Amino acid sequence: MTTTAPDPTTHATPAASGRSGKHWITDWRPEDEEFWENGGRQVARRNLVWSIFAEHLGFSVWLIWSVSSAFLVAQGFAFDAQQLFLLVALPNLVGSLLRLPYTFAVPRFGGRNWTMVSAALLLVPTLLFAHAVQQPGTPYWVFCVIAATAGLGGGNFASSMANINFFYPAAKKGAALGLNAAGGNLGVSLIQLLLPVIVGGAGIFGLVRARESGISLQYAAYVYAVLAVVAVVAAALRMDNLSSAVSRPREQLRVVRNRQTWVMSLLYVGTFGSFIGYSAAMPLLIKINFWVPDPAPLGTGVFFAYYAFLGAGVGSLTRPLGGWLADRYGGARVTLAAFGGMVLFTLLVLWTLTRLTPNPAADPAVALDNRAWFPWFLAFFLCVFASSGIGNGSTYKMIPAIFRTEAERATTPHTDERAVAVHEATKQSSAAIGIIGAVGAVGGFLIPLAFAAPWVADPLSATRGAFVVFTCFYVVCAAVTYAVYLRRSSAATSLASAGI
């Protein structure tokens, strides 16, 4: 029997519960090699491309405050370092909380439909941002509320990953999820690279200078509002819903009773929590500790804006590498190596910080002395980002592999029971991705707050103390990875032999 290519505009069988129409696919069998080669791959790839675009915009809006918060002072808003770090942290908190309902939305409404809704919701934080930054009298608490709405962009990641997880066969999930996540993660780097250019305050490595008219933060918000509309239209025209991606919230929440969900949540706090937390905090860390007067007309010391985007860029680009390495060598092994790298390079970042003098903005000589250490700080910090990106890719490969392994161990090969169990495992792993992603993103809230510890008067001392804590946490994550997924034991349920 010849398997025809899946066509989202035609259907061989009626969809259940009203799941029918032009953009609903009712027959989707990615594990069937013939089905996959005769059209399935092309459909999955098309949905992946536009999923990446929408998720990319979500990340950009989510992290728009990471760099714009530092420009608020230059625009005349009198906020101190602790207030700025809170503005950076709030979107991460809201984004982490939204990841769970966003995950449940995919089976409830369909991946295409929810991509349209989630992209349209990005108009809320962008347009509110554009209005507030043009009002000199906007109070701090209003900025906090608007920053919190940027968390809507953080939820996009969970729904996008859960959706793409349904489209790809198990053997290709690592690379597909890695590419999807990397495309989204690059939104962090791109907003940090382009926002200074768009608003006119700085440029790429200082090559683009500030406009004489000053900084116009609202321009960046308008650009992303327009792109959000483009994402809505693109999802409507080019993406599909899968009728097979059906699951009730109660069924999805069963994964909270699986201890593997919480083990992987801990590891994801270490990898993705670090990536998003460091990405959010890096512009302010550079500005506070390596401040140098800028010769541009504004004289605002925007040295931080030249290099802040590199961390998120490196972490994003190494994420698919982590997925590819996990497909080849096993996710647990790659994750353990990633945590080893994070321990080493975080210690080296801490070493450079011990050479700095506090409050460089008060003394140009101190600022120049600190700046001499900046290349070392940046190099080691980029290695931390690279390790976290590899760990992000490998952990997301581990999640579907764990649930599939558990399903296969409980069933007999080449039976209908096995096929049903594997399909249920895919739905469970998509739900787990949402929960793990939500817990992991909490790290993005805690890291900026750690750098602005209110009980430490000196920001540099707070930064040093935070990196000590982070290093200890990475050691714990490495130990857990080895003990749960790599250490051989006599127990029949050990996952070490499964090559997770």
As a whole number of angstroms, the distance between CA 192 and CA 128 comes to 19
How crowded is the C-beta side of 157, counted as CA atoms within 13 Å?
Answer: 38
291-308: pLDDT as tens digits: 654 443 333 444 555 677
233-270: pLDDT as tens digits: 999 999 999 988 776 777 667 888 889 999 999 999 99
Mean pLDDT across 180-201: 81
Name the residue with tokens 């900025």.
Answer: 143
Buried b (16+ CB within 10 A) or exposed e, 395-432: bbbbbbbbbbbbbeeebeeeeeeeeebbeebbbbbbbb
pLDDT bin (cut points 50, 70, 90) of residue 282 is confident
392-413: pLDDT as tens digits: 989 988 988 898 888 888 887 8
Specify the pLDDT at position 57. 95
pLDDT bin (cut points 50, 70, 90) of residue 420 is confident
Query: How is residue 360 written in tokens?
Result: 């460089």
Q: Which helix (H) or strand (E) is 327 found in, with range?
A: helix 309-329
Q: In a 10 Å sphere around its CB, with 0-12 CB exposed, 13-18 middle and 19+ buried, how is residue 474 labelled? A: buried
452-498: pLDDT as tens digits: 776 566 778 889 999 999 999 999 999 999 999 998 764 445 566 55
pLDDT bin (cut points 50, 70, 90) of residue 20 is low
Name the nearest CA neighbour of 426 among 220, 247, 221: 247
Name the nearest CA neighbour of 434 among 267, 261, 271, 274: 261
62-84: pLDDT as tens digits: 999 988 887 887 777 888 878 88
Specify the pLDDT at position 454. 63
Query: How far, in whole angstroms, is CA 177 from its chain's centroid?
Result: 12
Specify the pLDDT at position 201. 52
Residues 6+ apart with CB under 8 A from 257: none
| DSSP assignment of 339-400 | HHHHHHHHHHHHHHHTT--S-GGG-HHHHHHHHHTHHHHHHHHHHHHHHHHHHHHHHHHHHH
Mean pLDDT over the full length of the chain:
83
Least confident span in 208-217, 309-318, 326-335, 473-482: 208-217
Specify the pLDDT at position 498. 56
pLDDT bin (cut points 50, 70, 90) of residue 499 is low
CB atoms within 10 A of CB 257: 8
pTM for this predicted structure? 0.78
Specify the pLDDT at position 209. 45
Check: CB of residue 7 under 8 Å from CB of residue 239: no
* pLDDT value at 364 more than 80: no
Q: List, in sequence order, every residue forming a beta bridge with 24; answer none if it has no partner.
A: 241
As a whole number of angstroms, the distance between CA 50 and CA 284 comes to 32
Specify the pLDDT at position 289. 80
Cα angle value 19/429/413 (rounded, 5°): 95
